[in-house]
Amino acid sequence: MDAIADQAALKGGGRTIAVHGCGVDRIYPPENTHLAENMIKNGAIMSDCAPETPPDASNFPSRNRIISRLSMVTAVVEADQTSGALITAQFAADQGREVVAVPGNTLASQSKGTNKLIAGRAHPLLSARDLLDIFDLRRDTEQREVQKILPGNETVKKLLSILTNEPLPMDNICNLTGLPIEKVSVTLVMMELNALVSQVGGMNYAAVREEQVEYKVKA
């Protein structure tokens, strides 16, 4: 599951960080060697274990405290009552981080952990928009600086060149820009976080302000 999340982040043009339960010079499992090489180029691999430390089950629970500390929000999608994800969630709660969980069938073992979190302090995660509401990055000074830089990104420029105040469906945006849907969706999320676009019902997007239309014409 960790590898799938890393692969999805990289495929979408994002960055990802892995925290190893072994030395940073050890790749575990070995079949993830190619993935690790890509992560080093587009993120980082870190560990609080000494170099050459072999992977050991006792190392993994403690490394979860680093994962939760690095994360603004810990989202638990599935977890039984003995899942390591619950350890990460507890670390996050102790560190004052947000914890969200996907609710599930009360009879399903993989949902017992998430339902338990929701019964405690975790927010129920019902859609991606719930995460955006929790982040609320537009209030952050650092994000406002990102907003100034973001239009210089080539993908953003291409999206701004076709978006107007009239909402466009995601499929139309992909067709007009010739970009793959995974790159478009990730970029639109960042643009929405930085108040460049707004999602108007479903997967329809529009430019936020009239002056952005002027920028697009000049670009």
Q: Domains, the chain, ranges and CATH?
A: 2-133 (3.40.50.450), 138-218 (1.10.10.10)
Rounded Cα gap, residues 78 and 128, in angstroms: 16
pLDDT in tens, 109-164: 999 999 999 999 899 999 887 887 777 654 555 555 555 555 557 888 889 899 98
Determine the pLDDT at residue 216. Answer: 39
Rounded Cα gap, residues 47 and 70, in angstroms: 12
Residue 102 CA: distances (Å) to CA of 57, 122, 127, 182: 26, 10, 9, 22
DSSP letter for each residue of 128-145: HHHHHHHH-GGG-HHHHH
Pairing of strands 168-169, 43-46: unpaired
Q: Per residue of the chain (219 residues), give pLDDT as tens.
A: 688 889 988 887 788 899 999 999 999 889 999 999 999 888 899 999 999 999 998 888 889 999 999 888 999 999 999 998 999 999 999 998 899 999 999 999 999 999 999 999 899 999 887 887 777 654 555 555 555 555 557 888 889 899 988 899 999 999 999 999 888 888 888 788 777 888 887 788 998 854 443 443 343
Task: For tokens 């002056």, name the residue.
Answer: 211
| Packed helices 33-41 and 2-11: angle between N→C axes, nearest 10 degrees | 50
Determine the pLDDT at residue 72. Answer: 84
| Packed helices 170-177 and 181-193: angle between N→C axes, nearest 10 degrees | 110
With CA atoms as reference, report the closest residue to 86 among 112, 57, 59, 48: 112
pTM of the model: 0.61
